[in-house]
Amino acid sequence: MKKPYLNALAAAVYISLVVLFMHYMQSIRHDTPDTFIDGLGMISLIVFSAAVMGFLFFYQPVVLLIENKKAEAMRYFLQTLGTFGIVTAIALILVSIQ
């Protein structure tokens, strides 16, 4: 079984990559007006991100539930969520220190 903390770290890496991409796009298009394509891209990114996060947080616990391993499923989900919470807290602390 994959370790839950790897899923949480993968979520943090994915979020970091999205933020880097958005920062890059803002730096090269800072004076252009928003277009239809911008809105389409943002909504598509939201849907894609929801699917990625759903997979990272829920796929393995659902598999465990289907296998009738309720306690393991709950533990896996809570470990993933807790690890992601710790990563988020560290990021927020680092941002507030700057």
Closest-CA residue to 11 (of 61, 47, 51, 53): 53
Distance CA(53)–CA(35), nearest Å, equals: 27
Q: What is the pLDDT of residues 50-98, one digit of tens each?
A: 999 999 999 999 999 999 999 999 999 999 999 999 999 999 999 999 7
Distance CA(29)–CA(37), nearest Å, equals: 13
pTM of the predicted model, to two decimals?
0.85
